[in-house]
A and B are shown apart, each in its own frame.
Chain A
């Protein structure tokens, strides 16, 4: 079974508008962390935001916020005030705390975001 599911292969948004990228996950591990990464065409993965399974509040980092709904096992990324430079591939990833020792990340399929001027 897929551990991380991103159901939107592509998304389009107008510059300066907000956009939500969906991510659902599946784990029986009570301790886990969720990450969002951005991958521009250059290939490098850029860390955006992190949410821990025990965190009481939704994570925020500048224009990025994470809509974490634990019961629904979803961790959607919200980008506010989109900029042209936000056009890239976005990946949701999970690290399970108890099942996997180490730094292993499991990634979703990604969402290609295009910001239109």
Chain B
């Protein structure tokens, strides 16, 4: 069974540009969550998509957006990149949403560097 696949693994972008990150969840999983990990802020929740609908959103500016397709694959987009957006972006896949003990399976992340 394939795990969570995130592409690309590494990305270097310039300030002001936009970027799209992709996440393919485990087959059959319908919930995809995105997290930003930085040395200063730690792991912070960005948003969750379930059955193509945004279910939850963290405290991030509108420059961060996402979507989910009918096959559960998800993309997140960051527009007008800032140096502070440099981070490891992790995607988590879950079978269901709203169930307390549902395990979240994480991908290896996309390391974004903004220069």
Find out whether the CB atom of A47 lies under 8 angstroms from the CB atom of B55: no
Inter-chain contact count A-B, CB under 8 Å? 78
Residues of B89-105 whose CB lies within 8 A of A = 90, 92, 94, 96-98, 100-105
Kindly state the separation between the CA atoms of A66 and B104 in the bound complex, as whole angstroms.
18
Find out whether the CB atom of A104 lies under 8 angstroms from the CB atom of B88: no
Find out whether the CB atom of A110 lies under 8 angstroms from the CB atom of B42: yes
The 0/1 profile, CB within 8 Å of B marked 1, for residues 81-111 of chain A is: 0000000000101010100111111111110
**Closest chain B residue, CB of each to CB of A54:** B100
Kindly state the separation between the CA atoms of A107 and B98 in the bound complex, as whole angstroms.
17
Find out whether the CB atom of A43 lies under 8 angstroms from the CB atom of B90: yes
Kindly state the separation between the CA atoms of A102 and B104 in the bound complex, as whole angstroms.
11
Kindly state the separation between the CA atoms of A17 and B98 in the bound complex, as whole angstroms.
38
Give the size range of A's interface with the partner.
20 to 34
A42 within 8 A of B: yes
Kindly state the separation between the CA atoms of A73 and B105 in the bound complex, as whole angstroms.
25
B12 within 8 A of A: no
B56 within 8 A of A: yes
**Chain A residues within 8 Å of B, Cβ to Cβ:** 31-33, 35, 37, 42-47, 50, 52, 91, 93, 95, 97, 100-110
Extra A-B contacts (9), CB below 8 Å, given A97-B100, A103-B55, A104-B33: A35-B103, A47-B104, A95-B100, A102-B31, A102-B56, A104-B48, A104-B56, A105-B35, A107-B35
- 28 CB contacts below 8 A, A to B, read A31-B100, A32-B100, A33-B100, A33-B101, A42-B108, A43-B88, A43-B109, A44-B107, A44-B109, A45-B92, A45-B106, A46-B106, A47-B105, A95-B100, A101-B56, A102-B55, A103-B31, A103-B97, A103-B98, A104-B33, A104-B45, A105-B92, A105-B104, A107-B35, A107-B44, A108-B42, A109-B42, A110-B43
